[in-house]
């Protein structure tokens, strides 16, 4: 019975993690102060590769999925599939709801929304990391790297991965001839904050929220 209850908790945490992640990305896009590092890379690729964004997104995630399957297929599971098939729709709903509720939002409100989005994005990642029923293909890269390189903590692996995505996104946007305003709309202060602080914040939520939620605060893990 205990094992069954634990599995149910893991499923709930996985679904909640993906849903909260989609909500946070929609908030990022609404705030328009910079999107998360992976979406920054996608914006750059979309600017230089002449195919539909939806098709490009599938191709990039398929490549990352192949990486996870080769190096550690345990990272692929229920949460991965939910992420692939539902995340985009949740993002669209979240962004649309924000635009409906807060049309012409002033800059101070957009900054607050951005900060809230960063926090709940890290919380969502911690939930489905700890549930261990699969993660997004991008998240799998830092997880596999940190587990294979015992001397490098996950937080640092995530910072490096995020920084590389941001740098590539900026370079690709500039190469494509996008105006500076467009570049900063995709790669802004929100992107920089997430690139440097997502890893440590995810680690914090793992220890303080996700693991106690799954195993119980007073149980030995």
- Mean pLDDT on 88-108: 88
Whether the pLDDT of residue 1 is over 70: the answer is no
At a CB cut-off of 8 Å and minimum separation 6, what does 179 contact?
A: none
- pLDDT of 163 above 80: yes
Asked whether residue 109 is domain-assigned, the answer is yes
Of 6-10, 21-25, 83-87, where does the model show the most confidence? Answer: 21-25
Nearest in space to 137 (alpha carbons), one of 76, 58, 201 = 76
Domain assignment of residue 221, yes or no: no
pLDDT digits (tens, 9 = 90+) for 39-59: 888 888 888 998 877 678 778
On whether the pTM is more than 0.85, the answer is no
Residue 94 lies in a domain: yes
Q: Is the residue at 37 inside a domain? A: yes
Judge whether 218 lies within some domain.
no
Average pLDDT rounded to a whole number, residues 34-43: 82
Residue 194 sits in which domain range?
A: 2-211
Structure tokens at 35: 């999107």
Q: Which residue has the tokens 């680690």?
A: 203
């Amino acid at each position: 019975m205990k094992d069954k209850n634990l599995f149910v908790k893991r499923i709930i945490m996985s679904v909640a993690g993906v849903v909260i992640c989609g909500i946070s990305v929609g908030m990022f896009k609404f705030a328009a102060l910079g999107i998360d590092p992976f979406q920054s890379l996608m914006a750059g690729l979309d600017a230089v590769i002449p195919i539909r964004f939806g098709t490009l997104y599938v191709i990039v995630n398929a490549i990352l999925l192949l990486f996870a399957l080769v190096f550690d297929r345990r990272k692929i599971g229920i949460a991965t599939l939910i992420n692939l098939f539902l995340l985009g729709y949740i993002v669209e709903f979240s962004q649309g709801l924000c635009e409906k509720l807060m049309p012409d939002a002033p800059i101070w409100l957009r900054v607050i929304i951005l900060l809230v989005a960063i926090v709940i994005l890290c919380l969502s990642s911690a939930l489905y990391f700890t549930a261990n029923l699969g993660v997004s293909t991008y998240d799998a890269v830092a997880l596999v790297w940190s587990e294979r390189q015992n001397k490098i903590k996950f937080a640092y692996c995530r910072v490096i991965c995020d920084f590389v995505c941001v740098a590539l996104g900026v370079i690709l946007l500039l190469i494509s001839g996008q105006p500076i305003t467009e570049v900063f709309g995709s790669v802004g202060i929100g992107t920089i904050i997430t690139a440097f602080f997502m890893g440590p914040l995810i680690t914090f939520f793992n220890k303080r929220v996700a693991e106690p939620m799954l195993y119980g605060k007073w149980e030995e893990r």
